[in-house]
Structure 1
Amino acid sequence: MIHRFLKITVILIWHLNLSAQPDKPNIVLIMADDLGFECISANGGTSYQTPNIDRLVSQGMRFENCHAQPLCTPSRVQIMTGKYNVRNYTKFGELDRGEITFGNYFKQAGYKTAIAGKWQLGKEADSPQHFGFDQSCLWQQSKPRTDDDGHDTRFSNPILEINGTVKHFGNGAYGPDIVSDFICDFIEKNKEDPFFAYYPMLLTHCPFTPTPASEDWDPESPGSLDYKGKPSYFPEMVSYMDRLVGKVVSKIEALGLSENTIILFTGDNGTDKPIVSMFRGNPYPGGKGQTTDHGTHVPLVVQWTGTIEAAKECHDLIDFSDLLPTLCEAAQIDLSADETIDGRSFLSQLLGKKASPREWIYSWYSRSGSRTNLKEFARTTEYKLYKTGGFYKVTNDVFEDHPIATDDMTEEEKDINNTLTEVLKYYDDTRE
């Protein structure tokens, strides 16, 4: 009798645990612009303070080995479609309108959807809506990054497009504040429905300029004329970026949505090249645009209160193609109809279940979309093999200065090289 009672109790607890994980959790995906792994203090960076992101880390899971593409548009195409660039990257500033994004998947599944921040994926007035977003507040949609006089338009007194309508902001408005307000308003208006909010931030991309928290903030500034600005402002921009992350998280908490909302924070590529940060005791130069870890290694933190165990670390290999299948699996969205998705869900890792981590990731990187200056490689956590034959132990050779000759490889390294060679061959005929 006691045994039967215990068995029934275990079954009831199991069912309660299943019901505690909602069928349609809310999703908030935050992606900083040009912010590498080394910039987050919880990752071992010491040049900047990121208390709000660190708090996410303390309440969720921190990933040690997440990789993006080395540049903004290639990363955005990959994260939004779950596919490697070899399949669907066309050219800088464009997303093929034949592609299906996570916005489309979530909208089709009954979610309310929104995007706010940086677009740079197609100039059509309906681009965000075409790719599944009900609401949009974007910079660099149909308008270029500068006005007619050459002033950058993303930060002070910006030019943004709200649901396809161009709006010029003045009176000391700050672009990152406007788009973060848009995300927070969207969350509040849709708190009774499942929602998917994609927040590709404007910060911390250059021009490096004062924020409203800076002593020399100029509310009348029409925007920087200098593309890079002054790198000395980068720490203030990191701080403001972190503040806006905290603002969105606080909105979710204030609405009582934390247990039903998956919050993710990442960066689209490595930090810009003028920036040198201190990371785990050593100077760490930004590597945006480079295929070394300095250009691809990005932060990834995931919080899901009550579902993901707090203060956990994951050292499994993750790349940007994995975000879409992970989020879709969490929302029970079926992707089986699209066999070209390259990403692998890491939901099992998030839930603390037995998982089959990736052994490798692959990258086809070309800013222009052509084979000119193409860099193609496959890698494990420790080793990287380029299509051109360069083989590196990247954990010991971060700048990839010392390729390992075949004669110098250990038997284990030869096996890894052979595996990565097969990965590269697998994608040989993918791009016509």
Structure 2
Amino acid sequence: MECYGGQSYRTPHLNELARTGMKFNHAYSMPVCHPSRLTLMSGRYPFRHGHVPWGDYPKDAEDQTFSRLLQTAGYTNGIAGKWQLCLLRDDPLHPQRIGFDQSDLFGWHEGPRYYEPMIYTNGSVRDDTLGHYGPDLYQRSLIEFMKANRDRPFLAYYSMAVAHEVTDDLDPPVPHGPFDRYDNYAEMVAEMDRGVGRMVAALDALKLRENTLILFLADNGTPPEIIIRADGKELVRTPVVSRRNGLDVPGGKKQLTNAGTNVPMIANWPGTISPGQQVDDLVDFSDILPTFLDLAGVPLPSELKLDGVSFANRLRGQGASPRSFVYCEEAVLPKPGGVEPDGESSGLKWVRTQAWKLYNDGRLFHMAEDPVEQYPLAAEQDNSTRKMIRQKLQREFERLGF
């Protein structure tokens, strides 16, 4: 994104949200989408849920999602785009069960998400998508949802399909676009930015901008490659390398590095968030649930034990987030062509501050000086300062239960 120093893609609508709002420099996701979304919905890190199959959601946590808790407090919730918390053909009303009143979601590992998409509307497959482009339909769905609910509290979750490659395990492969190929990464970034602009324009038209928090964030880093076309059953991939601050940066999705986990986050709320702010507060995906409840004036259930902390005061201009570290874990990915991975942590984890990162295998990195992690610092190399930092981060591991 240009507002983060990107030089490969135009992102004018996101630039404007950053210019007139608040840009976070230290927001962190998991390295891939499913564990990020599990953390987002629950306010708890993936390991807290035990063994969760890839693309699933723990049954015992369904009543404790941010959407369910807001719904209980009187919010009406709509979602459109990507789900990936179940196979909808097996559980078509899953989104409704965990707190969404309206849903338009593509069938993950069931059909296309872009051209001629397979979309479930409130649990039923639509029959009117032939010739349509998925992101247009997802945006229209949420705009109509906001129009219908403009006079009551609502949450509109635009879970964007872009920028992400097409589903890779269907036979035959999903349809090409109008250029007899799939969208390239630059085209997807342009569509993502256009979609953001369309949603903002809808809020303006509905006269809801000053009463609505817009929160934009990514669920993992840029992919290292994407599928660009299908030659019969063979899928042809192309690398993704982006220019940022004068450097070529390969996509880092699936990695525990900054390129895989340090994601953009922009908050915009005219009249509440002062424009032009850039903050270094630590934020991770577990913080979204408590922040949303804090902003909505909804007390956290006493039995709900969270990893997240609210950064609502930062948004209100009342002080920085109290978070002192963020956490990330590596996840086992699906086998190529399959949807039945085990989804458990592979063991590699880190805790970090803005300047320092400690892995559970003992490697310490001074991220302020070594952002691409070329020079691991072993314990026997520690001076008194590094020893103190290592001990502090190790205590955070211990507080997490490791």
1:2-401 equivalences in 2 (<5 Å):
40-88=1-49, 90-99=52-61, 100-123=64-87, 124-140=91-107, 144-146=109-111, 153-207=112-166, 223-224=175-176, 233-274=184-225, 275-367=240-332, 368=341, 373-401=346-374
Label 1:387 to 1:180 Cα distance change in 2 as closer, same or farther (>3 A).
same
The answer to whether the 8 Å contact 2:53/2:344 transfers is no
2:400 maps to 1:427: yes
| Structure 2 residue identity aligned to 1:398 | P
Q: Equivalents in 2 of 1:356, 1:192: separation in Å?
A: 31
Aligned equivalent of 2:233: none
Deviation larger for 100-109 or 162-171: 162-171
The answer to whether the 8 Å contact 1:159/1:169 transfers is no
Q: Equivalents in 2 of 1:166, 1:127: separation in Å?
A: 14
The answer to whether the 8 Å contact 2:80/2:160 transfers is yes
Label 1:222 to 1:339 Cα distance change in 2 as closer, same or farther (>3 A).
closer
Deviation larger for 391-400 or 233-242: 391-400
Q: Equivalents in 2 of 1:410, 1:281: separation in Å?
A: 33
1:328 aligns to what SS in structure 2?
A: helix
The answer to whether the 8 Å contact 2:54/2:343 transfers is no
Stretches of structure 1 lacking an aligned partner (at least 5 in a row): 1-39, 147-152, 209-220
TM-score normalised by structure 1 residue count: 0.81
The answer to whether the 8 Å contact 2:2/2:15 transfers is yes
2:27 aligns to what SS in structure 1?
A: strand
Shift in Å at residue 357 of structure 1?
A: 3.3
Shift in Å at residue 139 of structure 1?
A: 1.1
Q: Equivalents in 1 of 2:320, 2:374: separation in Å?
A: 34
Larger radius of gyration: 1
Shift in Å at residue 388 of structure 1?
A: 1.3
Deviation larger for 407-416 or 156-165: 407-416
Q: Equivalents in 1 of 2:7, 2:358: separation in Å?
A: 31
Shift in Å at residue 293 of structure 1?
A: 0.7
Shift in Å at residue 407 of structure 1?
A: 3.2
Q: Equivalents in 2 of 1:60, 1:137: separation in Å?
A: 29
Q: Equivalents in 2 of 1:370, 1:46: separation in Å?
A: 35
Question: CA offsets, 1:179-236, max 9 Å, x none?
Answer: 111011100110011101111100010139xxxxxxxxxxxx95249xxx768x2111
| Structure 2 residue identity aligned to 1:223 | P
Q: Equivalents in 2 of 1:371, 1:136: separation in Å?
A: 28
Label 1:334 to 1:412 Cα distance change in 2 as closer, same or farther (>3 A).
same
The answer to whether the 8 Å contact 2:221/2:261 transfers is yes
Q: Equivalents in 2 of 1:339, 1:135: separation in Å?
A: 26
Question: CA offsets, 1:89-121, max 9 Å, x none?
Answer: 612101112212111011001011111111110
Aligned equivalent of 2:388: 415
Shift in Å at residue 70 of structure 1?
A: 0.5
Q: Equivalents in 1 of 2:103, 2:130: separation in Å?
A: 22
The answer to whether the 8 Å contact 2:117/2:130 transfers is no
Q: Equivalents in 2 of 1:255, 1:248: separation in Å?
A: 11
Q: Equivalents in 1 of 2:126, 2:401: separation in Å?
A: 45
1:374 aligns to what SS in structure 2?
A: strand
Stretches of structure 2 lacking an aligned partner (at least 5 in a row): 168-172, 226-239, 333-340
Aligned equivalent of 1:15: none
Shift in Å at residue 398 of structure 1?
A: 2.9
Q: Equivalents in 1 of 2:296, 2:355: separation in Å?
A: 32
Label 1:187 to 1:360 Cα distance change in 2 as closer, same or farther (>3 A).
same
Q: Equivalents in 1 of 2:343, 2:54: separation in Å?
A: 10
1:272 aligns to what SS in structure 2?
A: coil
Question: CA offsets, 1:297-351, max 9 Å, x none?
Answer: 1110011110110111111111111111111101011114244211111111112
Label 1:356 to 1:320 Cα distance change in 2 as closer, same or farther (>3 A).
closer
Q: Equivalents in 2 of 1:162, 1:370: separation in Å?
A: 27
Shift in Å at residue 389 of structure 1?
A: 1.1
Q: Equivalents in 1 of 2:150, 2:188: separation in Å?
A: 30
Aligned equivalent of 2:338: none
TM-score normalised by structure 2 residue count: 0.87
The answer to whether the 8 Å contact 1:116/1:179 transfers is yes
Q: Equivalents in 2 of 1:247, 1:288: separation in Å?
A: 27
Shift in Å at residue 372 of structure 1?
A: 6.3
| Structure 2 residue identity aligned to 1:60 | G
